[in-house]
Every structure is written in structure tokens, then in C-alpha cells.
Amino acid sequence: MFRRIASTIGGILVGIVLAEVGLRLYFQEHEANRNYWGPYAFVEDDVLPYRHAPSATAIAGREASFGPHRITTNELGFRDRRIPVGTAAGPRVVVAGASFAFGLGVEKYEDLFHVQLERRLREREDSTQELEVFNIAQTGFRLDEVCALIKKEVGRFEPRLVVLLMRADERGSIRRKSPDVVNGYRLEQGRRFCGTWVDDLRTRSYLWMRLPRLPRALRDVSLRRMASYKRSAKSGESASAGEPTNDKWDAIDVLSELRGWLQNEGIDLVCVPIYRPDDTSFDFSDRLRQRGLLVVEARTQPDWCLPREGHWNTYGHGKAAEVVARQIPSSYLRAP
């Protein structure tokens, strides 16, 4: 009886090992958890929900869509090869947003929206070659979180203008809990066996992450299915994960408040709503304009998008940069 039990247990263990090896041979590491990112892409932050790891190279990709390819961040955790140094020689523009602005799905740095925007703005006759465009986007952020990011980071850049890319169909749900970052993965707070060896299985075992029937509370590392949290939108203020008084926010109110905050800092705001190819209503842009916000629409075309994705491909980043660069007022492009 003992030998039979031992043999059965041994067979199960061998099967588990072989399954793990087989999955590792078949899947790229970023594909293990069915998300865009492999390990060590993210770190915790004292104000924001998380952020991209600084001075890091991470692997990004999505099955049947794009990648895998390497994405490198600078020492501030942004997908930009530069950081602001000293007094600006010319006007500065900051591009903010989530995955569209970050450039998820685009491998070459020179193809990114902010790089092409800088090049096209410099080509304008009313601009200067000293103009700089910086990118502070963070993937997975919601609009209220992007606004908190801007407030926290914009001071170090001293820009004249913030160009904020956002999805026109984003709904204002509040994220109530900040994810825990384990081995660079974002894990849901309140998960079972939090802080134990199970977290290593969640973030290191392909078999654990790929099992389709494993309870979500044990398996899930996907930010899209994560319990929501709320952080303070005030710059430099450490936020708590306390219960919010309201589960929704209005995008127009959030953007109006951000514009007022930026204006107090001597900075202007351009809103760039991103519309899907099948959108026929542009009510969001109209509502923004009614509040007095400067709007430049990015009406995405089908050939702008990655396969099976809403994110822009290389061509889409170029076309979006062309559209935005053409409509930036010249007053933001002149030397100080």
C-alpha cells in the first residue's frame, strides 16, 4: 500500500514537472499569465497604484497580437531615453496617458508617439529645434490615476504644455485597492495566502498561471480583473486604501480640475480623446470643449491598430502624432 501511494505521488510530481517544462518550452515568459508583461516590469509607489520599474528592461507582448519585444525605462521609470536636466533651452511638452501614450505594442523607440510628435513639432516653421517632448505615461493607469501621475511628476519637467492621451470611452470607476507588486507582477490585494510561498507560484510557475480552472483568487495576476482601489489625487500626498465615498467619477470633472491645477502652475493642457474605428459619436469631445478645454481628437482608423488589439501600431503612432502636431497652438512652441 505504501509503495502504491509513493508511486502515485511520485508520478504526480513527475507529471507536474514535465507539464511545467513543457509550458516553459511552448510559451514566452510574458505569455505565462495571459497578460502583456513578464516579470520585473513594475514596482510599488507611495502615491500611485504602481509604476514601471526604473532603469529596467522588461519583456512585453501578447499572444497572436504583438511581440515579444524588450521595453527599456529610464531612471524615473518612464519610456523615454531622456530626463529633464537643468533649465530648459527651449519649450518643453509632456505627454501623459496610459498604454497608448506609453506605446504598448511598439518596439522601436523612434516610432513612439512622443518621439514622432517632437520631430513633427520641430518641423513647423513657428517652432524651434530646442523644443523637447517627454513621455511620462504608465500602462494600465485609469484617467484619475494619470491625473495624479501628472501632478506628482510634472514639476520636474517644467513644461509649457501637457498633452494628455485618453480613451474617449473610459468610464470613471474608482480603484479601491492598490495592487501588491511581487517579482514585478501586479497581484490583487486580499488574495488568499497573501505573502506566502503561493505568491511565488503565482508569479513564477507557468503551470499555476496557465491552469484554466484554478480559482481566480489563487491564480489571477491580471490588473484588468483586480479589485479597485482609491488613491489621493493630490501631488506628493501618500494615499490610503480606505473606502471611497463614491464609486464613480466623471471624466469631464476630473479633467477640468486637472486643468485648473496646471494653470496654477503656469502650464496648459491639451486633451486627446482616442476614438475607436467604429465610434460615430464624438459627444465626449463636445463636452470637453463646453468646459473650455483644448481638444485634439485622435479618430483611430482600422489600419492604425495592432492585430486583435485596440492599441496603435507603428503607423498609428505616426498618424496620431501628425494629427496632434498639426493642431498644437504656436504659442507653446516658441523659445522662452
pLDDT on residue 217:
53
Domain count, the chain: 2
| Domain identity same for 183 and 317 | no
DSSP assignment letter at 86: S
132 lies in the same domain as 36: no
The answer to whether residues 289 and 302 belong to one domain is: yes
152, 230 contact by CB (below 8 A): no
CATH number at residue 281: 3.40.50.1110
DSSP 326: H
Could you tell me if 93 and 121 are in contact, meaning their C-beta atoms sit under 8 angstroms apart? yes
Tell which residue, 46, 265, 41, 318, has the closest CA to residue 158. Answer: 265
Q: How many other C-beta atoms are found inside a 10 Å radius of the C-beta of residue 43?
A: 14
pLDDT in tens, the chain (336 residues): 777 777 777 676 776 667 666 656 666 666 556 678 888 999 999 899 999 999 999 888 887 788 788 999 999 999 999 988 877 778 999 999 999 999 999 999 999 999 999 999 999 999 999 999 999 999 999 999 999 999 999 999 999 999 999 999 877 666 767 889 998 888 888 888 888 888 888 888 777 777 765 555 555 554 333 333 333 333 333 333 333 344 567 889 999 999 999 999 999 999 999 999 988 888 899 999 999 999 999 999 999 999 888 899 999 999 999 999 999 999 888 766
Residue at which a domain ends, from 192, 227, 262: 227
Do residues 35 and 49 both lie within one domain?
Answer: yes
Same domain, yes or no: 144 and 274:
yes
Domain endpoint, select from 190, 210, 227: 227
Rounded CA-CA distance 77/314 in Å is: 22
Strand duo 132-135 + 66-72: pairing: unpaired
**Can you give the pLDDT at residue 19?**
65
Same domain, 106 and 148: yes
Express the helix, strand and coil content of the chain in percent, nearest 5 each: 35, 15, 45
Q: Grid cell 529610464 — which residue?
A: 74
Domain region containing 30: 1-72+178-227
- Statement to judge: residues 118 and 195 lie in one domain: no
For residues 90 and 59, membership in a common domain is answered with no
State whether 130 and 171 are in the same domain. yes
Query: Which of 197, 212, 227 is at the close of a domain?
Result: 227
Same domain, 213 and 296: no
Residues 155 and 241 in one domain: yes
